[in-house]
Amino acid sequence: MRILGIDPGYGITGFGLIEADRGNCQLIRCGAITTPAGMDFSARLEIIYEDMRQLLELSKPDTVAMEELFFGQNVTTGIGVAQSRGVMLLAIRQAGLEVTSYKPMQVKQAVVGYGNATKHQVQDMTKRLLHLKEMPKPDDAADAIAIALCHARASTSLLANANCRMQNAK
């Protein structure tokens, strides 16, 4: 299964595409969609939308995993990220793909095994799981890869649970 992980933002949106097969994962590509600071915000949203459409067309994922919006101290930034996330969700739905959202704590739990793991711990474990020599840059791309890994583990878990239920029903 090809999973596209997305770490949404409006200045930098990280993405990571992995191939997951029975617990084995391989990084296919990663990077970031960027928009220039100071540009009209609606123009930035248009760039994000068009770049997301192009990314989906080129990478041909089976599914998409995206980090849920987390409102910290800066609500103004959160509103901008929410708008950015909205245009990405539109592009994904128009491509006929499903989106699964994960909270930051779920990603940390799935990748590191500890929901309060540090960013460094998540990146280190991501590097180990994918047998990478170094962690991809920018950090937003590394975060997106962790989101994709989270989905790979969650979907395997869900499939295993569904198979157990089907066997128990017989």
Burial class of residue 139, CB neighbours in 10 A (0-12, 13-18, 19+)? middle
Active-site annotation holds for 40: no
Which residue of the set 46, 62, 134, 140 is catalytic? 140
Q: How far apart are CA 111 and CA 121, in angstroms?
A: 9
Strand partners, 3: 18, 63
Q: How far apart are CA 92 and CA 59, in angstroms?
A: 12
Active-site annotation holds for 139: no
Active-site annotation holds for 67: yes
Which residue of the set 62, 67, 98, 143 is catalytic? 67
Which residues carry out catalysis? 7, 67, 140
